[in-house]
Amino acid sequence: MPRPSFYLLSRDEIELVYSKALEVLSTVGIKIEDELVKNFLESNGGVKKDDRTLIPEELAKEALKKAPKTFDLYDRDGKYIATLGEGANIFAPGSAAIYIIDHRSKDVRPPLLEDLKNAVIITDYLKNVDAQSTMLVPDDLPTQVRDFSRLYVVIKYSKKPVVTGAFTVENIKFMFDMMKVIRDDFNKRPWAIFDVTISSPLSWSKITARNLYDLAKEGIPAEIISMPQLSATAPATVSGGLLLHTAEVISGIVIAELVSPGSPIIYGGSTAVLQPRYGIPIITAPESVLLSLAYAEIAKYLRLPSHTYLGLSDNKIIDYQAGAETVYSAVLAVLEKFDIISGPGMLENELTQSLEKLILDDEVVGIAKRIAKGFSLSADELLQDIDEIKDGINKRHFLSSPRTRKLVREFHAYSIFDITARSAWDKKEVHDKAHDKVLEILKTYTPTMLDKDLIKRVEEVYASAWKYYNLGNPKLV
Amino acid sequence: MGTDEKDKLFKDLYDAIVIADTDKALSAARKLVYDFHVDVQELMNRALLPAMKHVGELYERGEYFIADMAMSADTFNAIMKEIIEPILGSNKETSGSSKRIVAVFGTVQGDIHELGKNLAKAYFMANGIDVVDLGVDVPAEKFVEAVKQYNAVIVGASALMTTTREEQKAVIEALRKAGLRDKVIFIAGGAPVTDEWVKEIEADVNGSDMFKAFEKVKELLRARGYATS
């Protein structure tokens, strides 16, 4: 069956980068800002050198052997969604935006908890964006509770799996407690994936190091995200960025697998080029995209599930540039067969989310996945085609055949892109149609809410976390 | 050792900072300080500051990229570290350092991305501000302690990540609790900082662009009666 695929690196090139990355880890090592994790690594094979920790090659290789090659992802209610590690192409909205384009006024402003609820409901509705993310940082909540409050909203309003993460050491435990309410087997049949980011070059902050440690202890999937910015936090060459990225992700895998052998991890990243003039990270810059595609092939070589930030735009508004950046990066990501692709809805260097763009990106994701699926081709089918052609030349068309009638239903069904003839066109631009769709969904769609008793129990955990910070009654939505 | 030679050395130093030739810059600076007995103030005012200012102009004109500025800042810092700081350290009493304007810079707790902070530090130092660098992952209380210890009038707290930007609020709160908030000019630094954010957390300066930030700081310093270059 013809299926488009994409290869960038030869096996020799992959092995060269991999071996050099191990060399970086064993000679340069990593800096861990958290004493507990640093001591843990150094008493389990890591070698202390000044304020850094070296990772001997054998230690890294052993850890890589222990990481699961595949694991299954479920939804909140325990239904199987996909096997990660086989190129699942699961799309999730770009996460942790600190701005939203207000879908009524079109202004850009900090998001509120209510916006997150709306974004979760829209994403729940979407057909092609398979997962949720804790995509907005609600500005109307006290700083201390912003991370776990987001998970509460997702759990309540959608059954889709979720890509999430904590901003603090303490709060990840409240997030685990909320998940435990839903299902005892929340770690055996996971529906939440936690992002942990390493700070390039080769540095684990206290928060992310400890988050990774705690996730491994609980056996919850950790998406290890290295974020090299070419020319700024990484060498200016794509190959140098690849080398650094490889070393960084492997360092996270070593920590996770030493804490708990067999702990599920995802080989992730969010690459960028630091725009040389304006100093902002351009995620969809061609060199950045090449870097992402290349590290996916290292992940495949190591036989590990992979993740990226693509299928998004760096522009500030939804326009030609936003569409172009989103489409080429989404299509390349599916062809590279990433397991998790974070991006839909996102604009402006991963700062801004838009509900309209979520709707438009769902179409892009659908088309990208359809292209990735390829098409079927067999001798039997070609025989049927010969019969069709014989009929067709008599009728001078292929429309009125039972086979056509069946197959046209399998063509990509457009949900929002304009595919009408000019005569039938309602003169609306696709962005305005997306806006109408947002309003319609928020008015009429019933999301896959959590069972009432469980909501009550999740809200009890949620309230206990607010109480922990002496913040009074929690803000519910 | 004539005036011509001295002038040439100043020009060499200036040019070497602009093109970021650290060896050449150090060599010229050493000769000026040790052979011609040029004092720190003259070295700063005739070469270091105008050179960094020119680097800033080249960037503004689009001829220099950030990488070019970073290189020049490295050269500048090398001269500060190897030549100027040892001299200032040895005659602290007489250098008039107590009159200097002190800033404390650091990345906020939870954030260890220091590239922007380091560039801003170089630029502020180039413009005559003493910058005490608290490093990365700095808890709010550390900023407060440093303001007290160094009698600082500027605080620069930077955050690269959207998730750690929140901590800037905590630093402001800690300064307020310690009764120091009104004493300092607070710069919220980092890519995710916007004017709305500055307003929301009641910071004084949007530090997402170090050049604009410095202009604003200068304006606020003047309003508070400080002499600035």
Q: Cβ of B111 and A205 within 8 Å? A: yes
CB nearest to A279's CB, from B66, B163, B166: B66
pLDDT for residue B77: 85
What pLDDT is recorded for position B126? 67
Matching fold, domains B3-93 and B102-223:
no
Q: Which pLDDT value is given to residue B191?
A: 79
What is the arithmetic mean of pLDDT over A127-139? 96
Q: Mean pLDDT in chain B?
A: 87
Percent of chain A with pLDDT over 70: 100
Identity of the amino acid at A476 = L
Of B62, B67, B165, the CB nearest to A98: B165
What pLDDT is attached to residue B226?
Answer: 85
Return the pLDDT at B119: 77
pLDDT digits (tens, 9 = 90+) for A212-238: 999 999 999 999 999 999 998 999 999
Burial B183-222 (b: 16+ CB within 10 A, else e): ebbbbbbbbbbbeebbeebebbbbbbbbeebbebbbebbe
Residue B136: predicted pLDDT: 87
Contact yes or no for A207 and B192 at CB 8 A: no
Which of A146, A207, A275 is the best mutation test for B, with the most CBs of B within 10 A? Answer: A207
* Chain A interface, best mutation among B66, B111, B171, B172, by max A CB count within 10 A: B66
Cβ distance A351 to B137 less than 8 Å, yes or no, reads no
The residue of chain A with its CA nearest to that of B170 is A143
Q: What is the dihedral of CA B58, B61, B64, B65, to 10 degrees?
A: 140
* CA–CA dist B86, B89 (Å, integer): 5
Tell if the CB–CB gap between A168 and B164 is shorter than 8 Å: no
Look-up: residue for tokens 């270091």? B48
Distance of residue B116 Cα from the nearest chain A Cα, in angstroms? 9
Half-sphere exposure in the Cβ direction for B121 (13 Å, CA): 19
Instruction: Please indicate whether, in this complex, the C-beta atoms of B162 and A206 are within 8 angstroms of each other.
Output: no
Q: Which two tokens stand for residue A436?
A: 């109408």
Residue A161: closest CA among A271, A68, A83: A83
Mean of pLDDT values over B122-151 = 88
Distance of CA B170 to the CA centre of its chain: 23
> What one-character DSSP code corresponds to residue A145?
G
Q: Is A210 on the interface with B (CB under 8 A)?
A: no
Provide the 10 A C-beta neighbour count for residue A475.
Answer: 18
> Residue ranges of the domains in chain B?
3-93, 102-223
What is the predicted pLDDT for the residue at B114?
Answer: 77
Q: What is the pLDDT of residue B53?
A: 83
pLDDT at residue B112 above 70? yes
- Output the pLDDT for position B94: 40
- Taking CA–CA distances from A141, the nearest residue in chain B reads B166
Chain A residues with CB-CB distance to B110 below 8 A: 167-168, 205-207
Which residues in chain B have their CB less than 8 angstroms from residue A167's CB? 110, 163-164, 166
A100 chain-B contacts, CB cut-off 8 A: none
pLDDT in tens, B50-98: 898 898 788 878 898 888 888 888 898 899 889 988 887 665 444 444 4
DSSP β-ladder status, B154-158 and A340-342 = unpaired
What's the mean pLDDT when you consider all of chain A? 96
A317 DSSP 8-state letter: S
SS3 A282: strand
Are residues B157 and B189 in contact, defined by beta-carbon separation less than 8 angstroms? Answer: yes
| Average pLDDT estimate for A389-413 | 92
Taking domain B3-93, whether its CATH number is 3.40.50.1100 is answered by no
Cβ distance B164 to A143 less than 8 Å, yes or no, reads no
What residue has token string 């640093």? Answer: A38
pLDDT at residue B80 in the model: 85
Give the separation between CA A198 and CA A228, rounded to whole angstroms. 9
Size of interface A-B (CB pairs under 8 A): 59
SS3 of A272, please? strand
Q: How far is A148 from chain B (nearest CA, A)?
A: 12
A168/B110 CB distance under 8 A: yes
Taking CA–CA distances from A236, the nearest residue in chain B reads B67
A68 part of contact set with chain B, CB < 8 Å: no
Q: Is B111 in Cβ contact with A167 (below 8 Å)?
A: no
**In chain B, which residues have their Cβ closer than 8 Å to the Cβ of A147?**
163
Most confident of the following: A166-170, A364-368, B42-46: A364-368
Does B66 contact A97 at a Cβ distance shorter than 8 Å? no
- A315 phi, psi to nearest 5 deg: -75, 165
pLDDT of residue B93: 41
Neighbours of B50 (CB within 10 A): 16
Please give the class, per CATH, of domain B102-223. Answer: alpha beta
**Structure-model confidence comparison of residues B39 and A358, the more confident one:** A358
Question: What are the φ and ψ backbone dihedral angles of B107, each rounded to 5 degrees?
Answer: -90, 145
Asked whether the beta carbons of residue B191 and residue A137 sit closer than 8 angstroms, the reply is no
pLDDT for B202: 94
Contact across the interface for B191 and A206, Cβ inside 8 Å: no
Model confidence at A318, pLDDT cuts 50, 70, 90, reads very high
Residues in chain A with CB shorter than 8 Å from the CB of B164 are 167
Interface contact flag, B113 A167, Cβ < 8 Å: no
Which among A146, A205, A274 is the nearest to B166, CB-wise?
A146
Q: CA torsion B65→B71→B77→B81, rounded to 10°?
A: 170
Please give the residue of chain A at the shortest CA–CA distance from B211: A278
Percent share of chain A, pLDDT over 90: 95
Residue-wise pLDDT tens digits, A26-85: 999 999 999 999 999 999 999 999 999 999 999 999 999 999 999 999 999 999 999 999
3-class secondary structure per residue, chain B = CCHHHHHHHHHHHHHHHHHCCHHHHHHHHHHHHHHCCCCHHHHHHHHHHHHHHHHHHHHHCCCCCHHHHHHHHHHHHHHHHHHHHHHHHHCCCCCCHHHCCEEEEEEECCCCCCHHHHHHHHHHHHCCCEEEECCCCECHHHHHHHHHHHCCCEEEEECCCCCCCHHHHHHHHHHHHCCCHHHCEEEEECCCCCHHHHHHCCCCEEECCHHHHHHHHHHHHHHCCCCCC
- CB spacing of A277 vs B163 below 8 angstroms: no
Nearest to A232 among B115, B162, B163 (CB): B115
Distance from CA of A330 to the nearest CA of B (A): 23
Quote the pLDDT of residue A61.
98
Cα gap A266→A270, rounded to integer Å: 13
Residues of B at the A interface, defined by Cβ within 8 angstroms: 62, 65-67, 110-113, 115-116, 137, 161-167, 169-170, 191-192, 196-197, 200
Tokens of A152: 């509460």
Position B47 pLDDT exceeds 50? yes
Please give the DSSP secondary-structure letter assigned to residue A475: P
Is pLDDT larger for residue B209 or for residue A342?
A342
Reply yes or no on whether the pLDDT at A361 is more than 80. Answer: yes
pLDDT at A353: 97
Band the pLDDT of A132: cuts 50, 70, 90.
Answer: very high
* Nearest one of A201, A463, A196 to B113, comparing CA atoms: A201
Confidence at residue B229, expressed as pLDDT on a 0 to 100 scale: 55
Nearest residue of B to residue A208, measured between CA atoms: B110
Task: Look at residue A254 and tell me whether its pLDDT is greater than 90.
Answer: yes
pLDDT, average across residues A254-261? 98
Q: Which of B66, B164, B167 sits opposite A276 (nearest CB)?
A: B66
A165: closest CA of chain B, how far (Å): 10
Tens-place pLDDT, residues A163-176: 999 999 999 999 99
pLDDT in tens, A449-471: 999 999 999 999 999 999 999 99
- Residue A343's closest CA among A362, A324, A370? A362
Q: Is the pLDDT of residue B138 over 50?
A: yes
Instruction: Provide, as residue numbers in chain B, all residues whose Cβ is less than 8 Å from the Cβ of A276.
Output: 65-67
Q: Which residues contact A467 (CB under 8 A, 6 or more apart)?
A: none
**Is there a contact between A137 and B111 if contact means CB atoms under 8 Å apart?**
no
pTM for the full predicted model: 0.88
